[in-house]
Amino acid sequence: MTKIETEELLDYSDVLIRPKRSTMQSRSDVEVERNLKFKWSSQQWKGVPLIAANMDTTGTFEVYNVLSKYGIVTALHKFYTPGDFKVQKSLNPNMFMVSSGISDADFERLQSILSEVSCNWICIDIANGYLSSLVTYCKKVREAFPDKIIVAGNVATREMVEELLINGKVDVVKVGIGPGSACTTRLKTGVGIPQLSAVLECSDAAHGLGGAIIADGGITCPGDVSKAFGACADFVMVGGQFAGHDQNPGEVVIDEKTGKQFKSFYGMSSKKAMETHYGKMEKYRSSEGRELRIPYKGDLNNTVLDYLGGIRSTCTYIGATSIKNMGKCLSLIHISEPTRQEAISYAVFCLK
């Protein structure tokens, strides 16, 4: 019999953060860097736990050049060739990830890149992380690279986090099925889990096993990042919000009617991405991504500073001295639908 779960699951926009008394003096007292040690690789990492998504609009060397200055990681997209890596000078091994799919060709590319450049991170990324072939591939990568921090995903429920951490021998699980700004999975397939609840469930599962998670997708503003850290995400991955800048690829286009400036941003399984990288869209696939226009935002440095400022400010509202402590200090309030709609229309108004 088909089972219907009736427990309410929540997205970032369904909650707000409760302010609390605090003795903190200033936002500058907040520690935004984290020190993490990983389960299998035993690697130590220190940095700001934000990650630019491995999309070809955000996971680029140009974006890396900005984010690495802040200690933020860039997951480089999987269409860079070994040759593209070779010509890069002095990449910081802690501040970028080499992305991989799960085919034999992906494995060969991974080996080839890692024999050329020093990098501590591997990001094994497929849209549907519930396939058993992902776990098999993760094991193979762990055998070949015992010292690398291995990330794998995407999943959104406890049992698959456990499977990837225990049997896949990965250090970090990427969490998010359907929340991405350029994602249409929920519409095309009906599959998905509201992201805040997914992060709560998966972080609990991972931390019990000494693993970590990345909350991937659905960030619309700095407050969403704070909510994700409050739900005990170890890292937050950002796509659309890190797109639309001078440092992202593509031309600025001007809307003829409004005069507003935009840049193109598209999902990695959108028709646009398929045509860009493979020349066509296979007939058996449906596109689970879309192309959208992101308001042109100028220099990426300003957006990064805005995000870091927002996180620092949340910490002072809840008395958290560091991102690490946000999960312990933060209480979330489930807000009513009218309040939620008001917040959404305000956000839309700001974007206009």
Question: What are the two backbone dihedrals, phi and then psi, of residue 143, each rounded to the nearest 5 degrees?
Answer: -65, -40
Residue 127 or 221: the one with the smaller Cβ distance to ligand 5GP is: 127
Residue with tokens 């005069």: 259
Question: What are the two backbone dihedrals, phi and then psi, of residue 274, each rounded to the nearest 5 degrees?
Answer: -60, -45
Residue 43 or 185: the one with the smaller Cβ distance to ligand 5GP is: 185
Best CA proximity match to 295, nearest among 350, 342, 237, 219: 350
Token pair recorded at residue 156 = 């959104």
Strands 212-216 and 15-17: unpaired
Rounded Cα–Cα distance for residues 314 and 309 (Å): 9
Residue 45 · residue 155 · CB < 8 Å:
no
Residue 96 or 318: the one with the smaller Cβ distance to ligand 5GP is: 96
| Catalytic (active-site) positions | 183
Task: Give all strands of the β-sheet with 261-266 in edge-to-edge order.
Answer: 253-254, 261-266, 291-295
Beta carbon of residue 308, minimum distance to ligand 5GP (angstroms, whole number): 17
Would you tell me which residues interact with ligand 5GP (CB under 6 A)?
Answer: 53, 55, 127, 154, 176, 180-183, 185, 216-219, 237-241, 267-270, 288-289
Give kind and range of the element (H or E) at residue 57.
none
Residue 47 or 180: the one with the smaller Cβ distance to ligand 5GP is: 180
What is the C-alpha radius of gyration for the chain, rounded to an integer number of angstroms? Answer: 20
Beta carbon of residue 51, minimum distance to ligand 5GP (angstroms, whole number): 8
Rounded Cα–Cα distance for residues 326 and 233 (Å): 10
Beta carbon of residue 316, minimum distance to ligand 5GP (angstroms, whole number): 25
Best CA proximity match to 77, nearest among 245, 263, 298, 266: 266
Residue 119 or 225: the one with the smaller Cβ distance to ligand 5GP is: 225
Beta carbon of residue 267, minimum distance to ligand 5GP (angstroms, whole number): 2
Beta carbon of residue 127, minimum distance to ligand 5GP (angstroms, whole number): 6
